[in-house]
Structure formats: C-alpha cells, structure tokens
C-alpha cells in the first residue's frame, strides 16, 4: 500500500485534486485520465451512502487516481467505514477542539497511535493484499503511515487552536475549507480580505512548523496557484460538477461567438 499523494508531497512536489460530487464510477474513471492526483468522495455534502464507496474506490484505483473522502461527521462509523473501503486520505469536517482531533486519531489509526477497529474488508483485499500478508503489526504500521487524516479547518475554534490540533500525533495535516472559514470569520467568500488571508497563511505556517501537510480547497485555477505560492502542499480544485459546467459553458460561448 503506497499513497501516491503522500509520496508526491514528500518528494517536494505539489498535489492537485478535486471534490467528487457526481457519484458514478464512470466519472471517477474519467478523472483518472486528467492528471489529477486525487479525488475526494464527498460524504458530507455529496449524495453518497457507505455502500457506494467501495465501487468508487475500485474505479479510482483502476485509473491511478488516489481515492480520498470527506467524512460525514466526527464519529467512529463515519471514519472507519471509509478506511475499510480503501480510502487513503480522509478530510474530517467541522473540527473545533483538540479533543475532537484526538478522537479522529483514535478512530482512524491502529494501535499504538489509535484504536481503529480491526476487520477484514475490501480496502485491504480482505487481507489478501501483499501489505496485509506479513503479520498484523506490519499491516497496522503500513496503514498508519500511508493513510492520511486531515481535519478540516473551517471554524473559528479550529483556527484558534490550530497549533495544538496539527501537532496531535496521528494527524497528518490540515485541510482548509476557505468558504466556511471565511464565513466563520464574518467575511463570507471575501478571500482578499486581510483577515481571511491572514487566517489562510496562519494555517499553512502552523502545518509547516509541525512538519505536517497543508491542503486547501480552491474554486479557481488562480486561487490554486496562489495557494501554492503561499506554501500549501496541495490544492483541491473545484468539484467535478462545477468544472464540467464551466467547461461546457465556455465551449458554448466560444461556439456561439463564431456564429
């Protein structure tokens, strides 16, 4: 088990992903041809139920794009079911406290870091994948190393405690949700406002100081480039739905302008 996104960032390169909202294996396969590093199956805002995730994971892996997911909530079932399905990175929404970050590790990492439940499931090939064939401790060690737990900084409370949260052993990085974070700061979608810009810089600096990964959602190509210039390791650009709509709208405008 090798998490290609983790390896890419550790090699000094930037990773680009997108949120997966449309919900079919065909879309996951198409995204695999784009050069994206990962897709995020959105269990918070998307239309997914846990039983749909394994098929989407298989489609993503078949076309060499890492299957990440956003959990629906901070709970053992919400995190465990995604990991057992083969998700290699989990974004966890609405984190506010250090205790919640510690709970995420408890649910998402095997001992000695956490208390993730042990069970044979599709994500490990029902324990027939090679990395699961060398003893349980080896399996634990590989999963703990390669599976990314990324609390989402989208609340004022998380921002206030970001240095503590990002330093929790077992937390692999932070994923910034700029729309919710800007709203929590009283500046909804005002990404050029100094308060919002300072918050986004602050999270990246906290991640860097802790030696952890920094991810952020960006709605435009320009914002993605800006995030990389600030030092972010990864940008999740748009959603499959919005990129599809914008591509067709742009094509229609160009076609219509030539008539």
Low-confidence ranges of the chain (pLDDT < 70): 258-259
Q: What pLDDT is recorded for position 195?
A: 96
Cβ atoms of 234 and 214 closer than 8 Å = yes
Tens-place pLDDT, residues 65-124: 999 999 999 999 999 999 999 999 999 999 999 999 999 999 999 999 999 999 888 888
Beta-carbon contacts of 25 under 8 Å, excluding residues fewer than 6 positions away, are: 55, 56, 58, 59
Place of tokens 């053992």: 76
pLDDT for the residue numbered 175? 98
* Pure H helices in the chain: 4-10, 25-31, 53-62, 76-84, 98-108, 136-146, 156-160, 162-166, 178-184, 194-210, 221-229, 240-257
Sign of CA dihedral 52, 55, 61, 65: negative
pLDDT at residue 23, as a whole number: 84
Could you give the domains of the chain?
Answer: 4-257 (3.20.20.60)
- The per-residue pLDDT for 259 is 66
Q: Do residues 243 and 34 lie in contact, with contact meaning Cβ atoms separated by under 8 Å?
A: no
pTM of the predicted structure, to 2 decimals: 0.93
Say if CB 242 and CB 258 are below 8 A apart: no
pLDDT for the residue numbered 115: 95
CA nearest neighbour of 135 among 172, 110, 114, 113: 110
Label the pairing between strands 234-239 and 89-92.
unpaired
Answer yes or no: are the C-beta atoms of 168 and 101 closer than 8 Å: yes
- Per-residue model confidence (pLDDT) at position 38: 97
**pLDDT value for 16:** 98
């Amino acid at each position: 088990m090798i998490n290609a996104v983790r390896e890419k960032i550790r090699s000094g390169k930037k990773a680009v992903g997108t949120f997966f909202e449309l919900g079919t294996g065909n879309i996951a396969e198409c995204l695999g041809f784009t050069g994206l590093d990962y897709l995020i199956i959105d269990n918070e805002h998307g239309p997914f139920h846990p039983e749909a995730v394994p098929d989407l994971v298989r489609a993503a892996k078949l076309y060499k794009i890492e299957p990440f997911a956003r959990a629906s909530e901070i709970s053992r079932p919400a995190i465990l079911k995604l990991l057992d399905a083969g998700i290699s990175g989990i974004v966890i929404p609405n984190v506010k406290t250090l205790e919640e970050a510690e709970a995420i590790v408890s649910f998402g990492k095997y001992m000695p870091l956490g208390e993730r439940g042990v069970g044979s499931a599709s994500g490990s090939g029902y324990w027939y994948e090679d990395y699961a064939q060398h003893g349980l401790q080896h399996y634990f060690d590989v999963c703990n190393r390669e599976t990314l737990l990324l609390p989402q900084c989208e609340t004022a409370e998380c921002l206030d405690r970001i240095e503590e949260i990002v330093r929790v052993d077992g937390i692999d990085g932070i994923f910034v949700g700029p729309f919710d974070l800007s709203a929590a700061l009283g500046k909804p979608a005002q990404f050029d406002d100094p308060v919002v810009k300072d918050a986004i810089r602050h999270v990246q600096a906290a991640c860097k100081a802790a030696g952890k990964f920094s991810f952020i959602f960006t709605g435009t190509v320009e914002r993605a480039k800006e995030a990389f210039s600030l030092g972010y390791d990864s940008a999740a650009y748009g959603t499959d739905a919005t990129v599809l709509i914008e591509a067709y709208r742009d094509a229609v405008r160009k076609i219509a302008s030539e008539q």
